[in-house]
């Protein structure tokens, strides 16, 4: 019997209506949404259920909203008796993973990611930084291209190593544009500019990281009772000091998602459950290992199907 990993989506997976069906059917879900509204001092739940989408997509709203929706789905899986052997999350999703692993309280996490969103928005003036997805190029040649461009005075770096043939770069607007053009000239299939509000997971996020450090100093982090695979090192983290350190580094370091999935596969994970809105991570995991069993839990219907399938194979 293989091990189970719960994986949690990052920013970009938010949709109006997420979590609403569970809110309507579960007292535990209602309690989670109430706790988020109370902690943040505004009706996050109303924004999640009714929109508008453009307001929900703002980094400061999207981050606590995704964490809340993911935690609601996690609690529903837990109540159904499905427990993970490992957790991991893509960027913001790492906070959901830490809550699921017992390291961070939900209240502290939802407050922290709201602040994280603010700091990320404010770190770089609008229009001065961006990101692009580079398709069909390996990390070594792309790393060399970004190094050359950065040495030329326009900082850019690898930001998300998502799966074979899909890497996101991030940095100054000129740097990303220049690196994208060089990548295409050197064999990349496509370079797709991303509609993002800043150069996330690049060195330009260091001002946000220092502000996040101050918030994390006030937050209680305890030992994780389930191993969390860190974005920064693609290895398990357990201890409070290391967890805080990696959350700070994560803001300006690449998300090693492909490496993280391979790490989980190497320790016996055969079933991945994407816990939260969308199926972005499910698609990436399928490209990393076609033999992995992958489920996605984003509403009541997909929850019931997943529980039935996982119980059926892990009896």
Q: What is the length of the chain? A: 315
CB 276 within 8 A of CB 70: yes
| Active-site residue identified among 90, 103, 201, 202 | 201
* Residue 156 sits in the same domain as residue 43: no
pLDDT tens for each residue of 283-301 = 999 999 999 999 999 999 9
CB 298 within 8 A of CB 33: no
* Residue 215 sits in the same domain as residue 188: no
CB 69 within 8 A of CB 289: no
* Residue 92 sits in the same domain as residue 238: yes
* Domain closes at, from 196, 220, 246: 196
| Active-site residue identified among 13, 45, 70, 91 | 91
Give me the pLDDT at residue 314, please. Answer: 56
Q: Tokens for 27, please give them.
A: 């007292």
* Residue 180 sits in the same domain as residue 252: no
pLDDT tens for each residue of 222-280 = 999 999 999 999 999 999 999 999 999 999 999 999 999 999 999 999 999 999 999 99
For the segment 146-163, the average pLDDT, to the nearest whole number, is 98
* Residue 21 sits in the same domain as residue 48: yes
* Residue 82 sits in the same domain as residue 227: yes
Strand blocks (E) in the chain: 3-8, 86-89, 129-135, 156-163, 166-172, 190-193, 228-229, 236-237, 269-275, 293-297
* Residue 241 sits in the same domain as residue 259: yes
Our answer to whether residue 91 is catalytic in this structure is: yes
* Residue 49 sits in the same domain as residue 70: yes
* Best CA proximity match to 96, nearest among 189, 231, 261: 231
* Residue 136 sits in the same domain as residue 116: no
User: What pTM, to 2 d.p., does this model score?
Assistant: 0.96
Q: Is 54 exposed, middle or buried (0-12, 13-18, 19+ CB in 10 A)?
A: exposed
Query: The CATH number of the domain where 149 resides is what?
Result: 3.30.70.250
Q: How does residue 1 score in pLDDT terms, banded at 50, 70 and 90?
A: low
Query: The CATH number of the domain where 116 resides is what?
Result: 3.40.366.10
* Residue 258 sits in the same domain as residue 309: yes
* Residue 22 sits in the same domain as residue 93: yes
* Residue 24 sits in the same domain as residue 170: no
Our answer to whether residue 172 is catalytic in this structure is: no
Domain that holds residue 226: 3-123+204-313
pLDDT tens for each residue of 39-87 = 999 999 999 999 999 999 999 999 999 999 999 999 999 999 999 999 9
């Amino acid at each position: 019997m293989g091990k189970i990993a719960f994986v949690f989506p990052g920013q970009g997976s938010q949709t109006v209506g997420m979590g609403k069906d569970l809110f309507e059917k579960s007292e535990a879900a209602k309690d989670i949404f109430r706790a988020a509204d109370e902690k943040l001092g505004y009706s996050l739940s109303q924004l999640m259920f009714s929109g508008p989408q453009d307001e929900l997509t703002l980094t400061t709203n999207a981050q606590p909203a995704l964490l809340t929706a993911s935690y609601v789905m996690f609690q529903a899986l837990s109540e159904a008796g499905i427990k993970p052997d490992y957790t991991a999350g893509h960027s913001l999703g790492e906070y959901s993973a830490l809550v699921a692993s017992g390291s961070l309280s939900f209240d502290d996490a939802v407050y922290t990611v709201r602040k994280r969103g603010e700091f990320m928005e404010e770190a770089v003036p609008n229009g001065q930084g961006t990101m692009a997805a580079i398709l069909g190029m390996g990390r070594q040649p792309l790393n060399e291209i970004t190094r050359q461009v950065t040495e030329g005075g326009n900082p850019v770096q690898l930001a998300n190593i998502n799966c074979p043939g899909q890497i996101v770069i991030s940095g100054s607007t000129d740097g990303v544009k220049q690196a994208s053009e060089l990548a295409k000239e050197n064999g990349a299939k496509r370079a797709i500019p991303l509609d993002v509000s800043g150069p996330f997971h690049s060195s330009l996020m260091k001002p946000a990281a220092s502000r996040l450090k101050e918030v994390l100093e006030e937050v209680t982090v305890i030992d994780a009772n389930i191993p969390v695979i860190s974005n920064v090192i693609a290895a398990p983290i357990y201890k409070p000091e290391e967890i805080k350190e990696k959350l700070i580094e994560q803001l300006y370091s690449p998300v090693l998602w492909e490496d993280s999935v391979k790490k989980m596969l190497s320790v016996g994970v055969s079933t991945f459950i994407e816990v939260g809105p969308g199926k972005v991570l499910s698609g990436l995991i399928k490209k990393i290992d076609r033999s992995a069993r992958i489920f996605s839990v984003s509403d009541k219907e997909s929850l019931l199907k997943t529980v039935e399938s996982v119980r059926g194979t892990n009896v």
